[in-house]
Amino acid sequence: MNSVKTYMLLLLLMINGVQFATAQLLMFDIFIGGKVVGEMQVEKKLQGSLEQYSMKSSMEVNLFKKMINEFTINVEYINGKLTYSYFENYLNQDLKEKTIIQTKQGKLSVTKEDDHYFIGEVPFSIIRAYFEKPTGQKVLFSERLGEFLDLKKESENAYKLKVGMMKESHFYYQDNKCVKVEGKFGPTSFTFLRQK
């Protein structure tokens, strides 16, 4: 009887000492001109005060020649603040862009190609906007560009992100999760539509 109580107490202490991780996975089809050209996977993992996000995208387009575009983003937040981000973009297996954000001496350091600079605190970035509405946010941080972008609420479930001259993205939500992103980059338009 005494050994059963001891075992139960040890089991309870072990359970209380372990922080369980939870994960969410969202899958999106990528459309250009009404045709599916690729797929994007976005994942969020929570363990205590640590939030980990990842995004992997691959698409194939035939314009004047076959182009395969693949990118990866890995992001970490601690206590609701971005502390690390790594972005890579490949076109036909050649590295085209790389942006690294990491905490150095209590500040966020951005390294993008030969450019290096520090930025202020990041409470909300684009990858996080796939898992929750950016309620109350006026800017979102771009892990790719390494900069803050203007955000405007268009309706209860729609937000517009200004990326630059002739570039913008529209995020649409249902049940606080992103279900669609429409983007315009010059003459090219794309849609990320969440799979059912």
In the chain, domain spans: 24-194
Q: Is 130 helix (H, G, I), strand (E, B) or coil?
A: helix
> How far apart are the C-alpha atoms of 18 and 47, rounded to whole Å?
10
User: Per-10-residue mean pLDDT for the chain, 196 residues long?
Assistant: 51 48 91 93 96 96 88 96 96 94 92 92 95 95 94 96 84 95 84 92
Residue 87, beta-bridge partner list: 73, 99
Within the chain, residue ranges assigned H as helices are 2-17
Token pair listed for 76: 């970490």
Q: What is the pLDDT of residue 9?
A: 45
Please state, as a whole number, how many other Cβ atoms lie within 10 Å of the Cβ of residue 150.
12
From CA 12, how far away is CA 8, in angstroms rounded? 6
pLDDT of residue 14: 46
Partners of 192 in the beta sheet? 30, 181
Whether the model pTM is above 0.75: yes
Helix (H) or strand (E) holding 51, with range, is strand 50-62
Tokens of 129: 């906007």
Cα-based angle 94, 87, 149 (whole degrees, multiple of 5): 120
For residue 183, the SS3 value is strand
> Which 3 state secondary structure label does DSSP give 6?
helix
